[in-house]
Structure 1
């Protein structure tokens, strides 16, 4: 489809713009519906409903309170989980003990 935009009036161009926006929105909604149907079919095939699977997403772990803090900058904290921050590993390499950085409860 080829449209000579130069020959259209401002009113016609604005109408074309509205029509294109509507067509894009309709296309995206149709794609979403098709994708949702495909996902529901996959979930059903595996013995689940899509709502069961999406509800599981909300059950992620809650953030853990920090357990250790930098002695000079209390804004630098670590929960004790995952990779040690640089300030912790440098302090341990310097001979300090991890217990020295415990946050008092």
Structure 2
């Protein structure tokens, strides 16, 4: 298959490059999933799980954090107390409020 790239504009070449990159990534992902499925099936046929044989444990998904604080100006704007403080929380603290004043 021969394509004359000289006839394409720069925009068309960049679009083509992007499409090729996506196609390559998709191909690799499909091959990995196929290989993993085959390995899991082989392990299951031998009475094991793939995680047992590789010494890995399945990744646990974390449950979403329960909101602990609510924005005094907008009660639907909440924060769990994890991660970075929202601007409204920091502003309320600066204004003299205490975290207990905003707890749900």
- Select the structure of larger CA radius of gyration: 1
**Length-normalised TM-score, structure 1:** 0.49
